Amino acid sequence: MASNKKPWGGRFSQPTDALVEAYTSSIEDDRNIAEDDVEGSLAHAQMLGEAGIVAPEDAEKLVSGLQAIRTELHSGTFPWNAAFEDVHMNIERRLADLVGAEVAGKLHTARSRNDQVALDARLFLRRRLRAIQGRLLEFEAGLVAKAHQHVDTLMPGYTHLQRGQPVRLAHHLLAYREMFARDRGRVEDALKRALVSPLGSGALAASPHPIQRELVAKLLNFPAITRNSMDAVGDRDAFLEAMSAAAISMVHLSRFAEELVLWSSAEFGFVEIGDAFTTGSSMMPQKKNPDVAELIRGRTGRVIGDLVALLVTLKALPMTYNRDLQEDKPPLYDALRTWHDALEISARMTPELLFQKDRLREALRDGFVTATELADHLVIQGVPFREAHEVVGTIVAHCIQTKKYLDDLTVEDLRAFDSRFGDDISQWLNVEAAVERRNVVGGPARAQVLEALKTAQVEIQSARRTLDAADHHNSQHG
C-alpha cells in the first residue's frame, strides 16, 4: 500500500510505500534530540540573518518560532505527529504553523539533514555526558563518605577470590573511587572531540552560501569547527568514544555490584544491603535478594552490546553519509541512559551499605593473611625471598594439618621451621601492624588512606565546581 506522501523533492513520480515509511521512521528514537535540534536550528537561524543569507526580519521570526517550540518541548505540550517521519520534520512543520510556511522554509537554507543530524547528536552528547559526569561525582562522593566511616575497619584483601593480605576497608572502597575518577576523565576527554561543530558541511561538500561557521560554533559554545565536510557528516567517533567510556564504566559498576552480591551472601556475610535496594522471594520468606546489584551486573552486557552494534554498523560504510547511520542513535541512547541510571542508583545505594566489622575481622584470622609478613620478616633477617617463601608455605601447611592459626604459633614453634626467626616475630603476625608497615603512597596504612581520602575530596570538589561552571555557562548561552 502506498501513502499519499511523496519522497523529498520533485524527483519522484510515485508516493512512498506506507511500509517503507514505517520502516525508515526514526521519530520515536529521535525525540531524545528534539531540544538539541532546536538549539542547533536557533544558532543556524541567527547565523543566516547575520550573514545576510535571509532577511533580518525573517531570521527574527525563525528565532521567535524556534524559541516557542523549545518552550513547548520543555513543557511537554509540543504536538508530535507520527505522520512526519522524524523529529526534524515535526519541528519544521510546527515552525511553519507558527511563522508561516514561506518563512519556515528558509531555515533549511545552507544546511543538509546530514550536517544537521551530526550537530544535533553532538549537542545531545554534551547534554547527556555532562549529566553523567554529575552522576559519577555523586557516586565517587558516596564511596569516599563510606570509606571515611571505615578507615579503621580491617578486612582481607583478595587475589583469585582467595584471602591474601590485610587491608583497610576504606582502601578497598577507594580503589573503586579511582576507577570512577578515570571514567570521568574519559568522559571529559570524549567531550573534547565531540564539541566540534559540523554545521556548514552540507550534504557532503559544504555550502555555496556565505555562511559563518565560526559564528554558529560560538553561539553553541563549541570551541572548534570540523575541518573536512566529507568526514564531518559521516563521522561517529564521538559516539564510539562516549559508548566506550560507558562500557568501561559499566564494567567497573559490574565489578562493584558483583562484590556486593558475593559479600551480602551468608557465605561471606561482609555487608548488608539496605532494604530499599533489595527484594524478597515469592516462595522463600527468609530471602533478601540483591536484585539492584544483579541488574547492574546484567545490564553491563547490554551496554557492551550497544558499543559493538555501532562498531559493526560503521565498519564497512563508504564515505560519506549512508542511511545505515540512522542506526547510530538507538544504541547510543540506550547505552547512555543505562549508564546514567546505573550510576544514579549506585550512588543512592552506597550510603545504605552496612558493613559487618566483626565478620570482616573474623575473616582476617581464618585466611592466613599474615603469611607474607612471616616471609618478609625472614627477608629482613637476610634470608632470600624465595627461600623464605618456601619456609612459610611449609608453616601454613603445618597449620592446616594441625588446625591452628599462625598467631597460635610461638617463637619456638616457628624456629623449629627456621632458626632465623627473630624475637619480635609476634609483632609481624599482628594484622594492624601488618597494614601499618605498608606506609607507602598508594598503600593501606592509616596515614596513606587518610591522605587518599583528602585528595579524593579535593578532586571531587574541584570537578564539581568545574562542572557547575560549565552547566551555568551553557544555560546562560542557551
Residues catalogued as catalytic: 160, 281
Residues 6+ apart with CB under 8 A from 81: 90, 93
Strands 224-225 and 196-197: parallel
User: Rounded to an integer, what distance in angstroms lies between the CA atom of residue 242 and that of residue 239?
Assistant: 5
Residue 162 phi/psi, 5-degree rounding, is: -115, 140
Rounded distance, CA 287 to CA 264, Å? 12
- Tell me the three state secondary structure of residue 53: coil
Residues 6 or more apart from 156 whose CB is under 8 A from it? 163, 164, 165, 166, 167, 360, 363, 364, 367, 369
Categorise residue 460: left if φ over 0, alpha if ψ from -120 to 50, beta otherwise. Answer: alpha
Contacts of 398 (CB under 8 A, 6+ apart): 404, 417
99: nearest Cα among 136, 60, 156, 49: 60
For residues 141 and 468, the answer to whether their CB atoms sit within 8 Å is no
268 vs 150: CA distance, rounded Å: 18
Angle at 282 between CA 279 and CA 285, to 5 degrees: 75
Question: What does residue 168 show for φ and ψ, rounded to 5 degrees?
Answer: -90, 140
CA distances from 395 to 59, 134, 170, 338, 430 (A): 85, 51, 31, 50, 17
Helix, strand, coil % (nearest 5) of the chain?
65, 5, 30
520502516: which residue's cell?
A: 23
Pairing of strands 353-355, 271-273: antiparallel
Q: Is 470 helix (H, G, I), strand (E, B) or coil?
A: helix
DSSP classification of residue 410:
-
Give the strand pairing for 154-159 and 162-168.
antiparallel
DSSP assignments along 188-234, one per residue? HHHHHHH-EE-TT-TTTT--SS---HHHHHHHTT-SEE-S-HHHHHH
C-alpha cell at position 393: 608455605
Three-state DSSP class for 322? Answer: coil
